[in-house]
Amino acid sequence: MLDNILPLVKKPIRYTGGEYNITIKTDASVRIGIVFPEVYEIGMSNLGIKIIYHLFNQIDGIQCERIFAPWPDFGDKLKNTKTALYGLETKRPVGDFDLVGFSLQSELCYTTVLYILELAHIPLRSASRDTDHPILLAGGPATLNPTPLSSVFDAFVIGDGEDVVPRIAHILKTFPKEKKGERLREIAKLSGVWVPHIHGHDTIIKKYVVSHLNEDTIPTPAILPICDITHDRLAIEVMRGCSWGCRFCQAGYTNRPLRIRPHTEIVKAVDRGVRQTGWEEISLLSFSILDYPALLNLIRKLNEILRKRMISISLPAMRGEFFSENLAVLLKEIKKTGLTFAPEAGSEQLRCRLNKSFSNDTLINSINTAYRLGWKQVKLYFMIGLPFEKDKDVEEINTLIQNILQAYPKGSIKLSVNPFIPKPHTPFESAEFASIDELYDKIERIKREKKRRTEVKYQTPEGAFIEAFLSKADEKIFPVIESVYRQGGRFEEWREGFDFSRWRSAFDRTGIDPHHYLKTKDNYPWDFIDIGVKKDFLKEEFNRAQKQLTTENCYYADCTHCGACDG
């Protein structure tokens, strides 16, 4: 059937599989699917699913396969021909697997989750499934408030998944598929796992934390994508966690404590990875890359390996105050890659409230260093609608951009301007979400002042509103998600996929008021999830933001006693 369908869709190569370095086992007794609810190009850019795929396939008797969301043209063909969605490795129908795990990176992927399940011929609600259906498990950042999809998934992994993998594999190998109840009862005993129908909301689920970044978790050999992907490079995680404590940043609090991969492991992984793949770029992944110990020495060692192959090094977004000329020289030694800075706010006063206190002059000097050493363009991240934000703070964004361009007349800037979204487990989790009209007004003020050498992109305020609603919602709102899906909702993270009118219709049909969930409250649906950071610490950080006080980075200063480690 696939041979008849594939010639009729765009980019059929997304659905063929057969890449170099995939794993196919003929003797596997347990089959697991790993789903990234996005198209192939985005899913294959995600390091997390590559790690889980690698770990499962290292275990005897386990076959792990990848599953991505089909673009609507292929999805419609599957539905019209009653062909079930399948794993890329063996083309086995997803519904035949023992367990199917989803990586939920954003709340806006929820409708796409339902789309994938229907294409796989799997009932949406766990109560409607039986032993013939696979166990559905979810992990990833969006599961830090797992309640909105608690009627869909059988289990959620909260926190790091590497150590959970072999334990789940052991359970699946011990109990056959028809013993689904026994499998779930055993999975419910694992640290960091929430099984809604067993634990309910009264059991505190403590986030699972791996103590160190094990060399065995580096995906080896890396799968070579079969077509161009969004981030087409070899990615190596050099640190996990962040101790800066930016008060809006969910990842900065939920991924504590900071764990650092040794130089020797990184150099070994890069050397092996470039020999096995042929990628022309490597990326050193971390939430705060410039904090990596002796980063300059690491890059010098990597350049020795990469120089003869003309492979460049790219870094993720940086704060702005620690970018140095020495670092710039090393990064451009082979080939220049893009540079991104994340000031988040235009004024130093608001940045101080965010606990991101560096001066505009420091940022301008960092960018000028890049321009002077040959970069023609940089990218800057800003947020609008932040707590404590005043009109003058938005104007300061325009002033800062103008000062950067005046300092170096040949440079250009890409601006990414996104509405602030209050996220669970942060000091700003109880902050108000700005109105859609207010956000559009601020975006227009930035766009009006746009200079000839700037480009402005932004998340729509409507999309941010729905993401904020889903971030703070509970299990009662699932009918809204299902209603949006039934109206054609999928790929909500894409501009062409998001339709606010569907959500308005769903709110009307269900009688659910989204603004109810965006109000400040004393208790939240995710309070039974323990991320390690104490609730009192988060509240105190909000109080310090009100007073425009900063909290020092415990990596460089004394322990702040947040609760995430034994300090």
DSSP symbols for 435-471: PHHHHHHHHHHHHHT--TTEEEEE--HHHHHHHHHHH
| Residue 318 falls inside a structural domain | no
Q: Residue 78 and residue 6: Cα distance in Å, rounded? A: 10
Q: Residue 332 and residue 336: Cα distance in Å, rounded? A: 5
The tokens describing 83, both together, are 């062909």
Q: What is the pTM of this model?
A: 0.96
| pLDDT score recorded for residue 152 | 99
| Residue 159 falls inside a structural domain | yes
| pLDDT score recorded for residue 410 | 85
Tally of CB atoms within 10 A around 430: 17
Cβ contacts of 139 within 8 Å, gap of 6 or more: 101, 102, 103, 104, 156, 157, 158, 161
| Residue 167 falls inside a structural domain | yes
Residue 36: strand pairing partners:
68
The tokens describing 108, both together, are 């806006």
With tokens 């199917």, the residue in question is: 100
Q: 253 in the Ramachandran plot: left (φ > 0), alpha (ψ -120 to 50) or beta?
A: alpha
Residues in the chain, pLDDT under 70? 567
| pLDDT score recorded for residue 1 | 74
Q: Strand (E) positions, 459-542?
A: 529-530
| Residue 279 falls inside a structural domain | no
Into how many domains does the chain fold?
1
DSSP symbols for 356-394: ----HHHHHHHHHHHHHTT--EEEEEEEES-TT--HHHH
pLDDT tens for each residue of 257-314: 999 999 999 999 999 999 999 899 999 999 999 999 999 999 999 999 999 999 999 9
| Residue 479 falls inside a structural domain | no
Dihedral angle at the C-alpha atoms of 416, 421, 424, 428, nearest 10 degrees? 100
| pLDDT score recorded for residue 3 | 83
CATH number at 189 reads 3.40.50.2300
| pLDDT score recorded for residue 24 | 98
| Residue 229 falls inside a structural domain | no
The tokens describing 363, both together, are 């940022």
Residue-number span of the structural domain to which 132 is assigned: 2-206
DSSP state of 159: B
Burial 128-147 (b: 16+ CB within 10 A, else e): ebeeebbbbbbbbbbbbbbb
| Residue 90 falls inside a structural domain | yes
**91 within 8 A of 59, measured Cβ to Cβ:** no
| pLDDT score recorded for residue 407 | 85
pLDDT tens for each residue of 8-64: 999 999 999 999 999 999 999 999 999 999 999 999 999 999 999 999 999 999 999
| pLDDT score recorded for residue 452 | 81
| Residue 188 falls inside a structural domain | yes
Nearest of 202, 143, 152, 137 to residue 478 by alpha carbon:
152
